[in-house]
A and B are shown apart, each in its own frame.
Chain A
Amino acid sequence: MTEKKRLAIVVSENSLDKAMMPMILGTTGASLDAEVHLFFTFWGLFLLKKDYKPKLKGMMAPFTGMMVKQMKSKNIPGYSELLEQARELGVKLYACSTSMEIMGVKKEDLIDGVEVLGATAFLKIAFESDVTLFI
């Protein structure tokens, strides 16, 4: 058995594809007994808003429904289901305090259990992590 790992991920986008990646890696990481920290910044912050449904962006936007359908047919859980799983598994969710000001997002707009963090506090976590990813 290998020792317990720590995983820190910066989530910077809110498109459906970029929303799924941290959720899949985060829930898998927690299932591997790792301590998982997700830091939501800039557009990524929107993913923590209550009842938020991410869509594909730009030229791919019209294909959102198609992708959701394809995921469903392959029994891949949707974004909100994975977010729920992540919370159940104890994945830590952080909202970037500066992004909240820039994007005009308030603490009460966010789902429960989100902690507001500054860059320093997150970097402290990242310094002590085994794996850091940027999405």
Chain B
Amino acid sequence: MEAKKELNAVGLSCPMPIIKTRKAIEELGSGEILLVLADDPGAKEDFPAWCEQTGNELLKMEEEAGVIKFYIKKK
């Protein structure tokens, strides 16, 4: 999966990962993919909820050594 942009939010706590994601996705075009790395304890629930509410598509979510990767396709 080719991400157009990567956002490293590791080490950041709520609400910063979501605020930064919101800002980052604005720089992408429709259909392009944003990869977000986060390790906030709430991230696993927050990112799917954010995608559902904003209409952007969560393509994949994978966890590796405590860091979760979210592949988000811009609506």
**How far apart sit A82 and B75, CA to CA, in the bound complex (Å)?**
27
Chain A residues with CB below 8 A from B52, complex form: 1-2
* Size band of the interface chain A makes with B: 10 to 19
**How far apart sit A1 and B21, CA to CA, in the bound complex (Å)?**
17
**How far apart sit A5 and B33, CA to CA, in the bound complex (Å)?**
25
Chain B residues with CB below 8 A from A74, complex form: 13
Please, which residue of chain B has its CB at the minimum distance from the CB of A86? Answer: B19
**How far apart sit A28 and B11, CA to CA, in the bound complex (Å)?**
18
8 Å CB contact of B19 from A1, A2, A27, A75 = A27
Chain B CB within 8 A of A31 CB? yes
Chain B residues with CB below 8 A from A2, complex form: 52-53
The verdict on A32 contacting B53 (CB below 8 Å), with A1-B75, A89-B22 known, is: yes
Chain A CB within 8 A of B3 CB? no
Known: A30-B22, A31-B21. 4 other contacts (CB 8 A): A1-B52, A2-B52, A31-B19, A31-B22
Interface residue ranges, A against B (CB under 8 Å):
1-2, 5, 24, 27-28, 30-33, 74-77, 82, 85, 89
Interface residue ranges, B against A (CB under 8 Å):
11-16, 18-19, 21-22, 50, 52-55, 75
Q: Which 3 A-B pairs have the closest CB atoms?
A: A1-B55, A31-B22, A28-B15
